[in-house]
Amino acid sequence: MDRIRVRGGARLDGEIPISGAKNAALPLMVASLLSAEPLVLSRVPDLADVAFMAQLLAAFGVHVAHEPATTLGAGATYVLKAREITATTAEYDIVRKMRASFLVLGPLLARVGVAKVSLPGGCAIGARPVDLHLKAMQALGVHIELAEGYVQARADDGLKGGHIVFPFVSVGATENALMAATLARGTTILDNAAREPEIVDLGRCLTAMGARIEGLGSSRIVIEGVPRLHGARHPVLPDRIETGTFAMAVAIAGGTVELTGTDGTLIGALIPHLTAMGVEVMPTNRGLHLHRNGFRPVAVDVETEPFPGFPTDLQAQLMALLATAQGTSHIRETIFENRFMHVPELARMGADIRVDGEVAVVHGVERLKGAPVMATDLRASSSLVLAGLAAEGETIINRVYHLDRGFERLEDKLSAVGANIERLKE
């Protein structure tokens, strides 16, 4: 298994190109199931999860072709053509590896009226059930049975529009319901829908495919079903989690960096915290400019929330940054239980963090110290890289396959701006 070695202390200077968003690319690829015509997606990041998704879709009969990126961050172009759906089972082996596989449920039901999808099972960041996805499908007239670890779903007379009120915000359940409703008979209303930019991006792509959708980006989305969708071309939105992660890399390591091909409004909940910490953040015509001098960042209190609040996917990285800040910070994680697994790893590097239920109390220390650490999940892995940038000496991060699921060549992007980081191949 590959490892990453970081030697701390280098300032970052230069430009980092931001890739297309993993969390937009995956549902967009799934949307190809809704049409017999080709869906052409550009700016698709080169990630393990994208490759998994291509493999899953191919098993349903989708013809997947792709042209690799020409430059780092530019992304690949995927052509996905689901002329005929030849199979409707999503096996345990793939769904367990990647929870986003569960998104095929709605589109398969909408297109062919039947789907058998493995339950995802537990994952490292909590129980993550799929009850909201199933309730949404039932509201569209789907009959559901659970047997042998699989969801067996049928809609013999096709889907019909319904009113779905989500008891709390779920990105995945909103996406599943949105895609299914595009081909349902009649009108569907999604209340308390997720407002994440990736939902808006998916909705725009579906609209380009001929769907009739109103209210994207608000908590009420109204979908007027149409009999069929056609092909479309769509560029994947920039990755706000990658944007935020690199912004915090500059904050922790110091230096001057321009993040290109992105948009500061995507990390609107992070920027005020960076500014409060003493980091200079300015929009540019290509993205975002960041600058931090030698002084230590200042402690801040943060709570994770659905968009437009502070994203849970940036919580671990922020914690690494605050571990070196002046003063005491409080981080409340409200989206996932058990999403503090990076805490013991950061502690191995000298961080002083106490977890009390859903709150982590971070007492900033003057300096972190390099150590061998283990990546526990995707976003936690990037927090260890960030900590390594600021630490004295050498940090070796094990289990970087987590990182490869969601960050495109993170070590290349960081070493190009001066970080002392390299992948150790096994």
Q: Does 292 bind ligand UD1 (CB under 6 A)?
A: no
Contacts of ligand UD1 in 12-31 (CB under 6 A):
23, 26
Q: Does 193 bind ligand UD1 (CB under 6 A)?
A: no
Q: Which whole-number Å values give the CA distances from 79 to 37, 108, 266, in the listed order?
A: 10, 19, 27
In the complex, what is the shortest distance from the CB of residue 172 to ligand UD1, in angstroms, rounded to a whole number? 3
Vertex 268 angle, CA 214 and 417, to 5°: 125
Residue in 242, 313, 377, 408 binding ligand UD1, rule: CB under 6 A: 313
Q: Does 133 bind ligand UD1 (CB under 6 A)?
A: yes
Q: Does 381 bind ligand UD1 (CB under 6 A)?
A: no
Q: Does 165 bind ligand UD1 (CB under 6 A)?
A: no
> Which window, 63-71, 107-115, 268-276, 311-319, contacts ligand UD1 (CB under 6 A)?
311-319
Instruction: Give the residue with the Cβ less far from ligand UD1, 169 or 288.
Output: 169
Residue in 122, 129, 186, 272 binding ligand UD1, rule: CB under 6 A: 129
DSSP H or E segment with residue 253: helix 240-253
Alpha helices by DSSP H, listed for 120-220, are 131-139, 171-181, 197-208
Amino acid at 170: S
CA gap 387, 392 in Å, rounded: 10
Amino acid at 357: G
Residue in 3, 7, 99, 154 binding ligand UD1, rule: CB under 6 A: 99
Q: Does 332 bind ligand UD1 (CB under 6 A)?
A: no
> Which window, 71-79, 167-175, 270-278, 322-330, contacts ligand UD1 (CB under 6 A)?
167-175
Question: Active-site residues: which are they?
Answer: 123
How many of the other CB atoms lie within 10 Å of CB of 177?
Answer: 27
Helix axis angle for 315-322 and 240-253, nearest 10°, is 10
Q: Does 170 bind ligand UD1 (CB under 6 A)?
A: yes
CA gap 147, 39 in Å, rounded: 33
Contact 375, 124 (CB under 8 A): no
Which residues lie near ligand UD1 (CB under 6 A)? 23, 26, 99-100, 126, 128-133, 170-173, 198, 311-313, 335-336
